A and B are shown apart, each in its own frame.
Chain A
Amino acid sequence: MRLSTIVYSLKQGLKNIYRNKMFSLASIATMSACIFLFGLFFAIVMNFQSMIKDIEAGVAVTVFFKDNVTEEQILDVKGKIEKRDEVSNVIYVSADEAWEIFSKDYLKDAGELAEGFEQDNPLAKAANLEVYMNDVSKQKTLVSYITSLDEVQKVNQSEITANTLSDFNMLIGYVSVTIIFILLAVAVFLISNTVTIGIAVRKEEIAIMKLIGATDFFVRAPFVVEGLLIGLIGSAIPLGIIYYLYSKLVEYVQTQFMTLARLFVFLPAEEVFHSLLPVGLILGVGIGFLGSFFTIRKHLRV
């Protein structure tokens, strides 16, 4: 393929878009709407995922031990639990530390009351392990494993939180995949429509080209360029808008609603766009390419 052919295809592709102004604009607009919704969804899901991760990191399984278990044995169990894949972190809380935390939390206004217990720790048997997980969905397996250990007396867990979180995560995944598929189908249909009209308008020209001895590639290239350009423009515009809106929103929430900001930590725009930008552009250009490519294959059987 010569450079002049590439230049020719680019020029013709642009010309096609210009010539069918209305349809090109309609395609770009719909494409933009699709990518905009996709981007919005993407940003929301990403933030949700990160929030769930934060919450997950806070969910812990607490392991209590039988009376005759020594500190060495507890540390031994700690080592065993730490080796498991779904576990991110295990913290050993000794009886003294447990008492300290308890008295700080509940007896801070009554210092003398705590002093009374100085020599006789009421929580002497409360040495425990706090187990933090990186995958909440595996909590059940972990708990049954820990319960099966001889030294363990009791396992405290927040099963409801764990199940709800992983269920919610799955739901978001399914919904986003469904919506994205619908949007993609709409966009492909629209591009295909635009290219079909372009082909109808240029039927005579295509016939002449074939007569002169143009290869299929040469006839098709301008239409593919048209689809690619519509995809590119149709994804660049909404991505730009989302970037602007998102950074404004994050800024606004962080300055205006301090409490809300502490509750939900928004990801910075840069982090969201680090993955959204390539995904959005590839999606747009990919839709443009596929939409036009398969349409001309269907219509250009000259």
Chain B
Amino acid sequence: MIELKNVSKSYSTGSPAVKNVSLHIDKGEFVFVVGNSGSGKSTLIKLLLKELEPTEGRIIVGNKVLGDLKRRQIPRYRRNIGTVFQDFRLLKDRNVYENIAFAQRVIETPTRRIRKQVPAMLSLVGLAEKYKSYPKQLSGGEQQRVALARALVNGPAILLCDEPTGNLDPKNSWDIMQLLSEINERRGTTILVVTHNREIVDAMQKRVVTMNKGVIISDEQKGGYNNYEA
């Protein structure tokens, strides 16, 4: 599903953010990417979204070679990838329903389908009653669920999460992780979670890729955070 071959990314200033990274993720996998800040995790997400171009190496997502995608093909490519961020990135002037519907409007889903799918997504993330609320009326956990619903409403094959629990308390963090795990099992969505939440990574017993200073230093099935120290 996701294949990185000897990928490097260096910015014009400073040391390279990602150095010679090779990574293979199968369809339906659930993968944690852990590491300190500055380890290159976020750069990885940006590379996968084709927000950044790698300086070297090849990235293949699905059956698409990202380097071959033209500018005008990027929107269609991104529609197959759901994204969740630490800061939720909801539209503040629109209520929960509109925020999720927005993701479908953008890709020109017929209104009839929007009316059916948005409530279904809302009940999946457990916010069916709050569809009229605005982001600032919701707790962080609830906002992240809205973001998750928005990321999933178009049925993407891949879900990329950049520190999804970074702004949440432990209880909400657990709920979100539980939700992600459920989605992975029930829908078969390939999920990549970038985090440094040690307890969760240790407890979930999923594949863990550890990065440090732009290099993958370990990649274990059913791993934990414990062997990482740098």
Contact = CB atoms under 8 A, between A and B. Distances in A.
B110 A212 contact: no
B230 interface: no
A218 B105 CA distance: 10
Contact of B89 (A2, A4, A204, A214): A204
Contacts of B108: 1-2, 4-5, 218
Contacts, number: 47
A270 interface: no
Interface string B97-123: 000001101111011000000000000
Contacts of A212: 78-79, 102-103, 106-107, 150, 154
Nearest to A207: B89
Interface in A95-111: none
A213 B106 contact: yes
A216 B74 CA distance: 10
A208 interface: yes
B49 interface: yes
A209 B111 contact: no
B138 interface: no
* Interface of A, helix, strand, loop or mixed by DSSP: helix
B90 to A, nearest CB: 8
A8 B105 contact: yes
Given A204-B89, A214-B75, A216-B72, A209 B106 contact: yes
Contacts of A1: 108
Nearest to A5: B108
Nearest to A15: B93
A215 interface: yes
A4 B114 CA distance: 12
B89 A213 contact: no
A211 B91 contact: no
Nearest to A205: B91
Given A2-B110, A5-B108, A213 B91 contact: no
Contact of A211 (B89, B107, B111, B154): B89
B91 A4 contact: no
A204 B154 CA distance: 21
Interface string B67-87: 000001001111100010000
Given A208-B91, A212-B78, A218 B72 contact: no
B105 A4 contact: yes
Contacts of B91: 205, 208
A152 B73 CA distance: 79
A8 B110 CA distance: 12
A96 B111 CA distance: 88
A65 to B, nearest CB: 77
Q: Which of A8, A205, A212, A214 has the largest count of B CB atoms less than 10 A from its CB?
A: A212
19 contacts: A4-B105, A4-B108, A5-B108, A204-B89, A207-B89, A209-B106, A210-B78, A211-B49, A211-B83, A212-B78, A212-B103, A212-B107, A213-B76, A213-B77, A213-B106, A213-B107, A214-B106, A215-B72, A215-B75
Q: What 5 pairs between A and B have smallest CB-CB spacing?
A: A213-B79, A213-B78, A214-B106, A213-B75, A215-B75
Interface of B: 49, 72, 75-79, 83, 89, 91, 102-103, 105-108, 110-111, 150, 154
Given A212-B102, A216-B75, 19 more contacts: A2-B108, A2-B110, A4-B108, A4-B111, A204-B89, A208-B91, A209-B106, A211-B78, A211-B89, A212-B106, A212-B107, A212-B154, A213-B76, A213-B77, A213-B79, A214-B75, A214-B106, A218-B106, A218-B108
